[in-house]
Amino acid sequence: MDKLTDKIAALPPDSNYFSLEFFPPKTQQGFSNLNARLSRMAQALRPLFVNVTWGAGGSTSQKSLALAEITQRELGLTTCLHLTCTNMSRKLIDEALEQAKVLGIRNILALRGDPPRSEEYMDDSDPKAQEDDSNRDFNWAVDLVRYIKKQYGEYFCVGVAGYPEGHSDQSHPENQSVEHDLPYLVEKTAAGADFIMTQLFFDVEAYHKYEKRLREHDSGVFKTIPLIPGLMPIQSYQILRRTTKLSHANLPTDILKRLEAVKGDDEAVKRVGVDILAEIVASMKKSDSVGPRGFHFYTLNLEKVAAQILERCDLIPPEPPAQEANGDAVAIEETDDFVIVDDAKKKAHRRKSSMANSQARNRVIISHTRDSSVSSNRTSAYEALDNEAGVPKEKINSRANTLAISEGEGSLGREATWDDFPNGRWGDARSPAYGEIDGYGVSLHVSVQEAKRLWGEPKTAEDISASFRKHLEGEIDSVPWSEEPLQPETLTIKDKLLALINKGWWTVASQPAVNGVRSTDPIYGWGPKNGFVFQKPFVEFFIPAAGWKKLQGKLDKHPQITYFAGNSKGDFISSDEESVNPVTWGTFTGKEIITPTIIEAVSFKAWQEEAFGIWGEWQRIYRPGSESSKLLERIRKDYWLVSVIHHGFLEEGALWDDLLKE
């Protein structure tokens, strides 16, 4: 019974269920760690199904299918694969559907993706490009729904997206309207959609009105169709503001006030966020529902907050009787990065790695009956009592213990949720959450019209420098590599960044040096309130190839500098490719040192590909052959992306003097 609609129909009419959404990580380490995380969440939480996202234009197709294979085949989780249909190879749609069928996946969330832009995405060097253009047959999600039903009949259970606050085309929230969307949703449903899954929202009243409007619609197509609300656990204040901005979701005043009051304390934000989501779920549970009430959680590939919300809301289904009995030694996790082994009948010491965050996470728990002589001086430091490991001595792999680990309890829980602090562009490449928060793929995150309004039609490199300067001065909200206004922390080094831009080096990421500032500091603070935070200065920028050649020679002579550099061809150079560089860390009462931001070769390479992909996306908004298009293509091919870290964070002028002084 792998079709969502069948699983939902089999539930008692007054019951509740939930599903979880994941996106394919950017790095192999992230994939490996997500595999371990999914295994743990599958055992502890038992979602009715999981969703796997698909990048715009098929940009994550291989990784999405690989992740779907893990969830469907390896973990036995009913999987719903997202599929977009515009600006991509026509063949890719058929290949994805066939591969999904081979994997045993019976559920597809049919989405449009970005607005069709054939001229911009077509490869003119391919003689079959026009024939293989998906936009010839697919301009809207309804086209994909019809196609799947025509080709596969009822094999696939097909879902479509709903927008409780109206759909906005990236940059025009004033045009959002549920009434404007309704004819399109009617059309998608009449074409054969089997369920509706909504975009994230925090305005519960807006959702209740939306659900009522659908159920009472004159067409009658929404009377009994499963309508699954989308909810996003609050991981951090910044991530919340960014996602609500991108999705144009309203943040009710009372919710915003509660989060504003604690926004400087990341742990408090998570606690308040759990309260807020629990209240939303409780409110929705009380409302009338056609059939079982579902809740879909956008996890952002993180587990701790999601697990806490699910337990608080009593959404975790009971454990089947067959799973209660447990045998002898079992491995509950076995991947490249995690191994946990235990004998449930033995009462003794266990060994664990204490190296969370800064090294690959290899955690081994063994019975003390193993001769102590096997412990070298190096590894004996990692031995701990059972209660120190945070796991009861009996049944390490019981569901209750696994849930406790997912919620971050004990040492094992802390290691399992080691990447719980804000992730994203600058995080740890080993985290499943590293990279884009939505897994959507390379995108400008604005419409063509908005992009031209923000950045005009550049004809020279100086025009591009002007856009970067305007962003620093607050005259425009974004540049292609950053869709948000600058943070107060960045403004403390604004004069340094402006000086680099005036040299023709366009900065896309940076941070100042910080030495032991309180974690509650309004500019530099993060994490729990009872701590101190530190930062090494770094900056990342695009630089012409000739300028990079000159700068590289200078950096190579500096013993305190580490750099990573790459270009659009995939060339990569580093002063120390094997180096692991924590550039942000914090010390907090009763906690291990936390290092949420680490720069290393693997994370730089993952970003390098995306950063140059964004140049391509920017180029595509202009007519092929136009001055702007040719300029952006020349820059993409010539420039290097360079990240420079200065380890002497206590030295005055560290980094900036080295870059700015001739």
Q: Which two tokens stand for residue 548?
A: 């990079």
> Among the options 21, 303, 407, 489, which is catalytic?
21
Instruction: Tell me, rounded to whole angstroms, the distance of Cα 43 from its chain centroid.
Output: 22
Pairing label, strands 640-646, 538-543: antiparallel
Cα–Cα distance, 315 to 229 (Å, whole number)? 14
Pairing label, strands 383-384, 227-231: unpaired
**540 counts as catalytic:** no
Cα–Cα distance, 51 to 21 (Å, whole number)? 4
- 316, 344, 318: which is closest to 329 by C-alpha? 344
Q: Of all helices (H) and strands (E), which one includes residue 509?
A: strand 506-511
10 Å CB burial of residue 321 (0-12, 13-18, 19+) is exposed
Cα–Cα distance, 17 to 72 (Å, whole number)? 19
Cα–Cα distance, 67 to 6 (Å, whole number)? 23
- 610, 615, 637, 613: which is closest to 544 by C-alpha? 637
Q: For residue 51, what are the β-bridge partners? A: 21, 80
Cα–Cα distance, 562 to 600 (Å, whole number)? 10
- 441, 432, 542: which is closest to 41 by C-alpha? 432
Whether residue 137 contacts residue 93, with contact meaning beta carbons closer than 8 Å, is answered with no
Within 13 A of 50's CA, how many CA atoms are on the CB side?
27
Cα–Cα distance, 372 to 365 (Å, whole number)? 14
Residue 309 makes CB contacts below 8 A (sequence gap 6+) with 233, 274, 277, 278, 281, 297
Cα–Cα distance, 242 to 245 (Å, whole number)? 5
Cα–Cα distance, 632 to 281 (Å, whole number)? 47
- 295, 324, 293, 331: which is closest to 310 by C-alpha? 295
Active site residues: 21
